């Protein structure tokens, strides 16, 4: 499909949304607020398709995300504050402004330099965030939020001089958690455990690992192995409740040998 055909299809989508808002009882009732949770759900479904490597499903989920963008723009147009034209124009201007190495005279030979320039330019924008970290959405899951906070701080130069130094911090936080664990102080244990997780996220970032992806990979491996354990137990005429830990561990080792991380 060439660009002209794509633009024609996009125009058709805008026409479809106009009709839906005028004639469909459900679509006409939707608001910015009612769509918010649905958009979050669609984003997770998109993520699921990416993790599965299902490109056909990915194409469909991208369509659902696009639908939501068009939906929000239509509601904005009805309110007289913005429409799809403004959304596209603002995005185009932002991309050009934040890529001066492409559309200007700035030089950036590495992706790391591009990221640092991006954060500095955001700070200069008149309508940008008031502070560097205010650009991190408060509603993000904690693990992703920690990663984004650290990444933004790094772009401002606040980072370890050598990445190997982070392991001393991890060890320090682990020892501080153990101190509170021995005292059985639940509140302080939680605080120190948070510090430990934050340090581990920092370590992952420094070694080029996305902690969210890493943890999700482990989640999927555990699910696969636990399902194997459960299925094997049922085939043997037992239930997990009747199994001893030793018996379960024996099957678990089989599962480990039959699955890959």
| pTM of the model as a whole | 0.65
The pLDDT of residue 38 is 93
Asked if 229 and 259 count as a contact pair (C-beta separation under 8 A), the reply is: no
Asked if 159 and 178 count as a contact pair (C-beta separation under 8 A), the reply is: no
How many separate domains does the chain show?
2
Indicate whether 221 belongs to any domain: yes
Q: What mean pLDDT is predicted for residues 132-153?
A: 88
Indicate whether 148 belongs to any domain: no
Indicate whether 228 belongs to any domain: yes
The pLDDT of residue 130 is 66
- As a whole number of angstroms, the distance between CA 13 and CA 30 comes to 18
From 97, 115, 136, the end of a domain falls on 97
3-state DSSP call for residue 171? helix
The vertex-104 CA angle with 100 and 108, nearest 5°, equals: 50
The vertex-198 CA angle with 192 and 199, nearest 5°, equals: 90
Q: How confident is the model at residue 129 (pLDDT cuts 50, 70, 90)?
A: low
Indicate whether 141 belongs to any domain: no
Tell me: pLDDT of 123 over 70.
Answer: no
Q: What mean pLDDT is predicted for residues 128-155?
A: 84
In this predicted structure, which of 120-124, 134-138, 151-155 has the lowest mean pLDDT?
120-124
- As a whole number of angstroms, the distance between CA 55 and CA 217 comes to 19
- As a whole number of angstroms, the distance between CA 90 and CA 215 comes to 35
Tell me: pLDDT of 114 over 70.
Answer: yes
pLDDT tens, residue by residue, 33-78:
999 989 999 999 998 999 889 999 999 999 999 999 999 999 999 9
The pLDDT of residue 252 is 92
Asked if 234 and 226 count as a contact pair (C-beta separation under 8 A), the reply is: no
The pLDDT of residue 98 is 85
pLDDT tens, residue by residue, 151-177:
888 888 899 999 999 999 999 999 999
9 Cβ neighbours under 8 A, 6+ residues apart:
1
Q: Give me the half-sphere count of Cα atoms (radius 13 Å) on the Cβ side of residue 58.
A: 8
What is the rounded average pLDDT for all residues in the chain? 91
Indicate whether 121 belongs to any domain: no
Q: How confident is the model at residue 261 (pLDDT cuts 50, 70, 90)?
A: low
pLDDT tens, residue by residue, 185-230:
999 999 999 999 999 999 999 999 999 999 999 999 999 999 999 9
- Token pair recorded at residue 190: 């939680």
Give the range of the structural domain holding residue 227, as residue numbers without chain letter.
212-258
Tell me: pLDDT of 127 over 60.
Answer: no
Residues of the chain with pLDDT > 90, as a percent, come to: 67
Q: 228: closest CA among 194, 259, 205, 188?
A: 259
Q: What mean pLDDT is predicted for residues 224-245?
A: 91
From 67, 97, 127, the end of a domain falls on 97
- As a whole number of angstroms, the distance between CA 251 and CA 246 comes to 9
Indicate whether 244 belongs to any domain: yes
Indicate whether 71 belongs to any domain: yes
Q: 193: closest CA among 245, 131, 142, 233?
A: 142
From 44, 78, 97, the end of a domain falls on 97
Indicate whether 194 belongs to any domain: no
Q: How confident is the model at residue 150 (pLDDT cuts 50, 70, 90)?
A: very high
| CATH number of the domain that residue 86 is part of | 1.10.287.1080
Q: What mean pLDDT is predicted for residues 6-14?
A: 96
Q: How confident is the model at residue 90 (pLDDT cuts 50, 70, 90)?
A: very high
Q: What mean pLDDT is predicted for residues 138-160?
A: 89
Tell me: pLDDT of 147 over 60.
Answer: yes
The pLDDT of residue 134 is 81
């Amino acid at each position: 499909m060439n660009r002209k055909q794509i633009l024609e299809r996009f125009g058709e989508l805008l026409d479809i949304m106009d009709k839906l808002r005028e004639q469909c009882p459900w679509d006409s009732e939707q608001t910015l607020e009612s769509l918010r949770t649905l958009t979050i759900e669609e984003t997770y479904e998109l993520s699921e398709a990416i993790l599965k490597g299902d490109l056909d499903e990915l194409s469909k989920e991208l369509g659902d995300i696009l639908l939501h963008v068009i939906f929000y723009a239509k509601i904005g147009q009805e309110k007289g504050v913005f429409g799809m034209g403004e959304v596209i124009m603002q995005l185009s201007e932002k991309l050009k402004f934040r890529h001066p190495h492409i559309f200007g005279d700035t030089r950036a030979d590495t992706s790391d330099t591009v990221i640092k320039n991006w954060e500095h330019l955001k700070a200069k924008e008149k309508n940008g965030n008031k502070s560097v970290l205010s650009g991190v959405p408060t509603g993000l899951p904690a693990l992703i939020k920690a990663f984004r906070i650290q990444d933004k701080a790094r772009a401002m130069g606040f980072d370890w001089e050598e990445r190997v130094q982070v392991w001393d911090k991890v060890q320090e936080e682990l020892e501080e958690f153990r101190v509170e664990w021995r005292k059985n102080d639940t509140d302080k244990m939680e605080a120190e455990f948070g510090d430990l997780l934050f340090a581990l996220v920092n370590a992952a970032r420094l070694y080029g690992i996305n902690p969210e992806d890493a943890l999700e990979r482990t989640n999927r491996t555990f699910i696969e192995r636990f399902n194997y354990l459960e299925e094997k137990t049922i085939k043997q005429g037992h239930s997990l409740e009747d199994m001893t830990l030793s018996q379960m561990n024996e099957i678990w080792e089989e599962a480990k040998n039959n699955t890959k991380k």
